[in-house]
Structure 1
Amino acid sequence: MIGERIKKLREHKGFSITELAELANVSKSYLSYIERDLNKNPSVHFLTKVAKPLDVSIEFILTGINQEELHLNNTEKEILDKEWKKIIEKAIEDGINKDDFKEYISYIKFKIWEKNKL
């Protein structure tokens, strides 16, 4: 899992395995072992080195979850997410499609702009 995540991040950044190894100052062969899951327990030191050029946190490499998502125990955020989900579900039940919703958002933005212009 960790190796697969590192490989996907590397490819997403457009780095070859050699380039990432050089940028992270790690052994190309060790990086290859990690990516192929031949070694499933890389050191924190290795993860720190690899995370930097990939522009992600160690937590993301380990879990696949963004730092912000790890701290979503904030009850206000959870309540907001549930509210948004209910609003969207209700809109879908009422027959509002994505294009309608986008048009409505544009209208609201226009009304806000118009209000601020006065």
Structure 2
Amino acid sequence: MKKRRNLLLILAVILLALLPLWVVQPVEDVEPFAGADGKAMEAVSAISPDYEPWFSPLWEPPSAEIESLLFAFQAALGGGFIGYYLGASITRVRMRRAWQQGKPCT
């Protein structure tokens, strides 16, 4: 029963990840999965054409591919950190309960 539920959850996550790729119909001259940075810059320049940024980036990646790679790497590190923390916390609680009950920690 638990394996079946896990399999259904995994399939649901995969479906939720892939469904937008099939559902979104491309529009001419519009990138469907573009980031919000470019749109925000357009909106700010439309509202206030004489706006000047407060600061400039220290380093800009040489291409969009490298920028995407760095973003994915950052997301993977964050996900790994959160997964490690949750796993360590659960293990700590289980070991504490086992120790309090006088059972060997496995």
Q: TM-score range by the shorter chain?
A: under 0.3
Report the TM-score, using the length of structure 1 for normalisation. Answer: 0.25
Larger relative CO (CA 8 A, sep 6+): 1 or 2?
Answer: 1
Which structure has the larger Rg?
A: 2
